[in-house]
Copies of this chain bind each other. A is one copy, B any other.
Amino acid sequence: MLRNFLSENFRLKTDQIFGELTSDEHELLLKSSVTHLYKKGDVLFREEGIPAGIYLVRSGRVKKYKTTGSGTEKIFYLCCEDELLGYHALLSGEFYSDSAAAVEDSEITFIPKEAFLKVLNDSASLANALLKAMGHEFCLFINSITNLATKSVRERVALNLLILDEKFKPRESNGSPSAITLSRADLANMVGTAKENLVRILQEFKKAGLIEKSDKCIRILDHKNMIIEADILEFSSRR
C-alpha cells in the first residue's frame, strides 16, 4: 500500500517537538536557535562531519543523501516543510553518516546540540515522540531497501513519482496534481538509476498519458495506472 511509503506522521514533526514541551523548554529552544536562508544546492552538513545540532525545515526542501567513493550519490529521503533533520547522529553520538543539501531555496532553523539535548533530557514526552517517529522511519527504510532489492527501475520510478506527488502537495490541496520540481539528476539519484534511463522511462509514461512534463516540472495525470506501474497492490485487491 502506498501509505507505507509515505511519512504522513512526519508532517507533524514540528508540532510534535514543540507541542510536547513546556513553555520554558520551548523558550530555551527558540532562544538559542538561528534561522538562516539556504540557497538551492547549499549543503547543511556532510557525512563524516561532527554534528553540532539539529535542523528544522521551515520552508523549501532538503535532500538527505550519501555519496560513494566513485562520486555517485544516493538520495534516500526528501525533507519538506516542518520536518526535523540531523538528529540521528546526535542521538547515536557518532559522526554524520549522511549529507544534507537544499534542493530549492529553503528557510532552515538550527538548534544547537546542547539546547536540544538538554530539553530532551528533561522531557520524557519528547523522547517518546522521537522514539515513535524513529519507529515509523524504520518502516519507511525497510520499504526502500526491499524496493531497491526487488523492484525494476521502471517500477521504482513510478513509485517515487507517487511519493513525490504527496511531498509536493501544497498545504491546501485542491485535488489537482502536484507540480514535482526536481532535476533529472536528483530524481535519478532518488530512484537509484542513471539519468538516461530515468528520462526514457519518463518519456514512456508521458506517451502513455500517465504524466505531463512541462520543463522542469512533472505532474501525475493518471494516479490509478501509476499505482499499477509501481506494482503496489492495494490491500483489498491483493489476495
Contact = CB atoms under 8 A, between A and B. Distances in A.
Interface of A: 4, 66, 68-70, 72, 74, 76, 87-94, 97-98, 121, 124, 127-128, 130-139, 141-146, 148-151, 192, 231, 233, 238
B148 A88 contact: no
Nearest to A76: B145
Nearest to A190: B149
Nearest to A124: B124
B142 A145 contact: no
Nearest to A123: B124
Specify which of A68, A89, A93, A143 lies most central, judged by the most chain B CB atoms within 10 Å of its CB: A68
Given A69-B231, A127-B127, A127-B128, A94 B136 contact: yes
20 contacts: A4-B97, A69-B238, A70-B150, A72-B150, A74-B145, A74-B149, A74-B150, A76-B142, A76-B145, A76-B146, A88-B134, A92-B132, A92-B135, A93-B135, A94-B135, A97-B138, A98-B142, A131-B131, A134-B134, A141-B142
Nearest to A238: B69
A153 to B, nearest CB: 11
Contacts of A141: 138, 141-142, 145
